[in-house]
Amino acid sequence: MKKVIFYIVSALLVIGYVLVLLRGMDLKSATPEYRMFYVDQSTRFLMPDGELQNYSENVLCTYIRGENFRNLGEGWNDIGEYGIWSEGNDASFYLDINDSNSDYVLELTISDSLGYNNALYVNGVFAGDIVFEDDVASINVSSELLNEGLNTFTIHTDDEVLRMVDIRPESENENHFNILLYSLILRSAS
Amino acid sequence: MTTTKLGSINNWIKRNNDLSIVLFILVSFVISRIVMFGVYLHSFGEAPTFIDWLHRINTFDVTWYTQYVYSILGRETFIDYGTGQTIWAFFPLDPLVIAFFMKISAMKADIALVAFIVNSSFFMLSEFVAYKYIMLTRKSFSSAVIYILLMTFGPYSFYFSIFYTESLFILLLTLCYYLLKKKKYLLMGICGALLSATRNVGIMFVFVILADCIAEYISEKKIKKNFGDFVKTYVSKENLILGTALVPMGLFAYILFLTYKVGDGFAFLHVQTAWARGDNALFWAAKHGIISVFPAEFLGVMLVISLSIIAYAIFHNKKVVEMVLPVIILLLSATTILQSVPRYMVGCFTVMLAVTDIYKNMSKTAKVILTIVLLAFEIILIREWDSHNAMLC
C-alpha cells in the first residue's frame, strides 16, 4: 500500500511540475512593460507597470534626464543633456493610440543631425520621409497604419551610418550616430 | 607527563568523536572570524566596531537579499528603474529565514548581525554534516579535520558569514549528499526541495542521484546488466523515486509564486537581462579569461584551478558522482559570467572535499607550503572583500 501511495504522489508531483511549467511560461498576465523590457528586450528602459499608456497622442515626450523618455525601443544611445542619439539604421519608440481611426501628425524635434536621409515606419510600414526644417520635422501618419493601443514607430535610414568621428573628426566619438532626438509629439491631424 | 596528557586527549577524542568535532568547528570558526575582523581593523583602523565590520562585509548582492527580506515583510518590491534589476533574480529561502528572525526581533535587530548569526550557524552545521559524510565515505577523521580547516580558514570563507545564500546552500547540499549515501531518500528529497528553493541550480541534484544510481549499479556483482534491468532495479525503489521527485519542488514552488506575483514564472531568468548577462559558452569564457588576456586574469586562473581539481577528482580519485554537480554548476555559471565561479566552487561542498583528498595525500613539505599559500590567499581575499573588490562577487 505504501509503495502505491509513494508512486501516486511521485506521479502527481511530476504532473504538477509540468502544469506549473506550462502556466509559468504563459506570459498573458505579465504587463506589456514587463514583457517588452525583460522578455522581448524591445524597450531601452524599464517602465513602471501601466506607464506605456502614458505615452500616447498629444503627450510631449522629451528625451533628456528627468523627463518622460522611457518609451524608447532599440537603436538609441544614452540620455544626455540635449537629447538622445539614435544609433545605426533603425531607432524605434512606442506610442499608445486611443483612436486608431483618426489621422495623426508626428512632430520630431532634434538638437543635432549628421545629415542622413531618414524615413518613418509605423508598425513596419512606410509612413513618410523625415525632413527637418529648423530642427523640426512633421510627418503625416495615416490611420491605416495604426493599431488600437500600442504602436511601434521606427526612424529608418538606408544610408550607411558611419562613425561620428568619420564625419566630425574633432568629436573622436566612434559611435554610429544619426540624429540627436530632443522631443516628439503625436498630434491629431484634424 | 606531556606525552601522557596528549595520549589522554587523543583517547578522549577517539571516544567522543562527535563532540570533539563540534568543539573543533566552534573554536576554528571563532578564531577565523577574529582573524577576519583583525584584517579589517588593520586595513581600516580608527577603532571600527564589530557591527561596522559586518556592514562593511555585507555588500554587493546583500543589498538585493536585504530588499527581498523587506519585500517579504510587506514593503513594496524594490525595482531599480535605471537598470531594471530587481529581487526576482534571487531565490527566496535564505531571505525567508532571515525575514523570520527579523520578524521575531520586531524588526529591531540589525539585519547584518542576524544574517551573520544565522548563516554562520548554517555553515558550522554544514561542516558537522560534512564530517559525518567524510566518516561515511572516507572513514578518515583527519580528512574531516582538514576539510573543516579548509572551509573555515580557506579562500572565500567570508562568504559563509554574510547575507548570501552560500551557507544555507552548502548545508542543504551536504545534507543531500549525506542522506543519499545513507539511502534516506525521503529526507534527502525534502532537503533537495529546500536546496532548489535556495538557488535554482539546486534542482541539478537530481543528476547526482542518477549518477549515484548508475555508479552503484555498475559496481554491483550482477551477471546480467543492461539498461532495462537498471531501470527495473531503481524504479522499484519507491522511496528513491519519491525522494527524487521532491527535489525540484522548491524551484517549481518559486515558479508558481512568480507566475502569480509577476505574471512570469521565469522572471528569475528573464531579469538576468538587467545584469546584462548573456549566454556564452564555457569554452568562450575560458578562452577569453585565460588565452585572450594572456597571462590569464585572476578569474581565468580560478577557472583553471577549478577545472584541474575537478579533473583530478574524476580521473585520479575516481570521485565521478561527487563531481557531477560541480561540473554542472561550472557549465551553468561560467556560461554567463566568470565572476562567481570561485565562490560557487568553494560553496558546492565536493570541490573542497576533492581538495581535502588531494591535501591528505601530499608530503609534509607540500602540506606546509599549501597551507601557507591558502592562508595568505584568504587574508588577501578578506582585505579585497573589505575594500569591495567586485572581482570577488
Q: Which chain A residue has the Cα nearest residue B256?
A: A20
Confidence band for B336, pLDDT divided at 50, 70 and 90 = low
The 3-class SS string of chain A reads: CHHHHHHHHHHHHHHHHHHHHHHHHCCCCCCHHHHHHHHCCCCCCCCCCCHHHHCECCCCEECECCCCCCCECCCEEEEECCEEEEECCEEEEEEEECCCCCCEEEEEEEEEECCCCEEEEECCEEEEEECCECCEEEEEECHHHCCCEEEEEEEEECCCCCCHHHHCHHHCCCCCEEEEEEEEEEEECC
ipTM entry = 0.92
Mean pLDDT over A167-182 rounds to 96
Distance (Å, whole) CA A116 – CA A112: 11
Of B246, B256, B263, the CB nearest to A30: B263
Three-state secondary structure call for residue B270: helix
Burial class for B8, CB neighbours closer than 10 Å (0-12, 13-18, 19+)? exposed
Grid coordinates representing B267 are: 522572471
For an interface test with B, which of A46, A69, A74 has the most B Cβ atoms less than 10 Å from its Cβ?
Answer: A46
Taking CA atoms, A56 is separated from A185, B30, B60, B264, in Å, by 9, 61, 38, 26
The alpha-carbon gap from A151 to the nearest alpha carbon of chain B, in Å, equals: 22
- For residue A31, which residues of chain B lie inside 8 Å, CB to CB? 263
Q: Which chain A residue has the Cα nearest residue B237?
A: A3
pLDDT of residue B44: 84
Confidence band for A122, pLDDT divided at 50, 70 and 90 = very high
- For residue A20, which residues of chain B lie inside 8 Å, CB to CB? 252, 255-256, 259, 265
Residues 46-75 of A with CB under 8 A from B: 46-48
Distance (Å, whole) CA B181 – CA B164: 28
Grid coordinates representing B167 are: 551557507
Locus of grid cell 538609441: A76
Confidence band for B333, pLDDT divided at 50, 70 and 90 = confident
pTM summary value: 0.93
| Residue A189, pLDDT above cutoff 80 | yes
Locus of grid cell 523618455: A69
Which residues, in sequence order, are CB contacts of B110 under 8 Å at separation 6+? B51, B54
Distance (Å, whole) CA B289 – CA B118: 35
CB atoms closer than 10 angstroms to residue B324: 22
Of B238, B256, B266, the CB nearest to A3: B238
Confidence band for B7, pLDDT divided at 50, 70 and 90 = confident
Q: Does A41 touch chain B (CB under 8 A)?
A: yes
Q: Which residues pair with B388 in a beta bridge?
A: none
Which residues, in sequence order, are CB contacts of B94 under 8 Å at separation 6+? B65, B119, B163, B164, B165, B167, B168, B198
Mean pLDDT over B14-35 rounds to 93
Three-state secondary structure call for residue B91: coil
Give, rounded to a whole angstrom, the gap between the first and last alpha carbons of chain B.
50
Burial class for B3, CB neighbours closer than 10 Å (0-12, 13-18, 19+)? exposed
- Chain B positions with Cβ closer than 8 Å to A: 79, 81, 83-84, 238-239, 241-242, 245-246, 248-249, 252, 255-256, 258-259, 262-267, 270-271, 273-274
Q: Which residues pair with A84 in a beta bridge?
A: A79, A181
CB atoms closer than 10 angstroms to residue A167: 14
Mean pLDDT of chain B: 93
The model's pLDDT over A27-41, given as tens digits with 9 standing for 90+, comes to 999 999 999 999 999
pLDDT of residue B12: 77
pLDDT of residue B335: 63
Distance (Å, whole) CA B299 – CA B390: 11
CB atoms closer than 10 angstroms to residue B235: 11
pLDDT of residue B48: 85
Higher per-residue pLDDT: B275 or B241 = B241
Confidence band for B297, pLDDT divided at 50, 70 and 90 = confident
The model's pLDDT over B95-110, given as tens digits with 9 standing for 90+, comes to 999 999 999 999 899 9
Q: Does A115 touch chain B (CB under 8 A)?
A: no
The model's pLDDT over A84-117, given as tens digits with 9 standing for 90+, comes to 999 999 999 999 999 989 999 999 999 999 999 9
For an interface test with A, which of B85, B241, B271 has the most A Cβ atoms less than 10 Å from its Cβ?
Answer: B241
- For residue B252, which residues of chain A lie inside 8 Å, CB to CB? 16-17, 20-21
- For residue A9, which residues of chain B lie inside 8 Å, CB to CB? 242, 245
For an interface test with A, which of B85, B249, B259 has the most A Cβ atoms less than 10 Å from its Cβ?
Answer: B259
Of A13, A29, A45, the CB nearest to B263: A29
The model's pLDDT over B199-252, given as tens digits with 9 standing for 90+, comes to 999 999 999 999 999 999 999 987 788 999 999 999 999 999 999 999 999 999
Q: What is the DSSP string of B247-260?
A: TTHHHHHHHHHHHH
The model's pLDDT over B114-138, given as tens digits with 9 standing for 90+, comes to 999 999 999 999 999 999 999 999 9
Grid coordinates representing B175 are: 545534507
Mean pLDDT over B311-326 rounds to 97
Contact of A83 with A74, CB cutoff 8 Å: no
